[in-house]
Structure 1
Amino acid sequence: MTETPPVRALFFDEPAEAVDALTRAVRDGAAADEIRGGLVRMPAAGKNAVLAEVGRVADGILDMNVFDIFEQSWTRFTALRDAAVMSLANPGGEELAEMATHTASFDYRPSVEVQLADLPVASVGLRAKLDFTVRGLIGVVVDGHLVAVRAGTWEFEGTLLLAGQKVAQRQGKVEIGSEIRFRRPIPLL
């Protein structure tokens, strides 16, 4: 594994599966009633198009990179902070930091706003709740920044809700066999 997956990949095997599940949840749940109620004068085909678009927008929110959600918690690791200090004494050189076990939780609650002629019709809430345990990871630190992780495993358990309705729930384990580079170096000091 050399690329970090989007949050969507933790819940669905295929991107189209995510769009379908989210669109179904929007069309069949409480959000549909609220949206349809706000679009009273719109023809049924138009309402269905709006509901499908809400599903696509909700799916786009799940495009967030999995390791980006760890960004704020990396700085709590003493081993990473120590490696960051040492890396500043050796500009451009890599320092490796072993991280035995690390746990993190992520509770992301964005919403999709539906408007008609600039007037609010509905707000559809999305919630991605994830719990992670990372084991045996090696952090790669350059110039005071975490730039990559190597080896190890991470386990996750997550629930995805749309307008309070459960859309997906999954747990799994990912083996990190090679190096994963971050899109942006993460400052550790």
Structure 2
Amino acid sequence: MTGPTGPSVRALFFDSPGDAVTALAEAVRTGAAAGEIRDGLGRMPAAGKDAVLAEVGRVADGILDMGVADMVEQGWNRYTALVDAATRSLANPGGRELVEMATHTATVDYRPSVEVHLADLPVAAVGMRALLEFTLRGLVGVVADGALTAIRAGTWECTGTLELAGQVIANRKGEVTMPAEIRFRRPIPLR
């Protein structure tokens, strides 16, 4: 699924939302996390344990809803041409500067977790990891009032690995379809 900030992280790794839920639920039921969760749930009936494991898979899938552009927002303030444009834009309030950006590489190591509790006591924490490397070509940054407000997309290539509880769930490599212009929810201060 592609939204105003591009596809979700889920869409980078799976062809459909159903594929994601199935893969994550299977990983939770059969991987190292399953033993830890089952042990932590003690004498709970097997059907209850299975329901908890299925819910962990659904919650893990929900974490993957984050938009690609949201993840790539990190690190823009290290790009010298953008910082220079931000300085100039402060002298011209309301004006915009367009900054051509050569090839830009961004690596994102996203590590959320799903915590399982029983009667307010922690039972287990199931770690996830999405390691993504984006190569962005032909981008134009839109700078106004000292901040990066949008990027006009060129081509985005991505290589990624998705793990759940240390188990590799998916690997992908390919081009990412992004909107022509991505406006950030909040401008990214550069100065």
TM range (shorter): over 0.9
Give the distance between the partners of 2:120 and 2:3, measured in 1 at CA: 43
CA offset at residue 119 of structure 1?
Answer: 1.6
Counterpart code for 2:101: M
- Opposite residue 121 of structure 1, the aligned amino acid is V
Matches of 2:142 and 2:32, distance apart in 1: 46
Compared with structure 1, are the counterparts of its residues 117 and 106 closer, same or farther at alpha carbon in structure 2 (3 Å cutoff)? same
SS in 2 for 1:90: coil
- The answer to whether the Cα contact below 8 Å between 2:12 and 2:176 also exists between their aligned partners in 1 is no
Distance 1:177 1:67, change over 3 A: closer
Assess if the C-alpha contact under 8 Å between 2:85 and 2:97 holds in 1: yes
TM-score (norm 1): 0.93
| 1:4-153 aligned within 5 A | 4=5, 5-153=7-155
SS of the residue 2:48 aligns to: helix
Distance 2:3 2:95 in 1: 21
Deviations 1:11-60 (Å, cap 9, x if unpaired)?
11222221221111001111111111112311121111100110111112
CA RMSD of aligned residues (A): 1.6
1:141 partner SS: strand
Does the aligned pair in 2 maintain the 1:2–1:178 contact within 8 Å? Answer: no
Identity of aligned residues (%): 72
Q: What TM-score, normalized to structure 2? A: 0.92
AA partner of residue 103 (structure 1): T
Contact map agreement 1:150 1:176 (CA 8 A) in 2: no
Gaps of 5+ in 2: none
Tell me the distance in 1 between the aligned counterparts of 2:176 and 2:52: 36
C-alpha distance in 2 between matches for 1:100 and 1:76: 14
Q: Distance in 2 between matches of 1:50 and 1:125?
A: 16
Contact 1:96–1:141 (8 Å) recurs in 2 = yes
Please identify runs of 4+ aligned residues in structure 1 that moved more than 3 A: none
Q: CA shift at 1:2, angstroms?
A: 6.9
Is contact 1:128–1:158 with CA below 8 Å preserved after alignment? yes
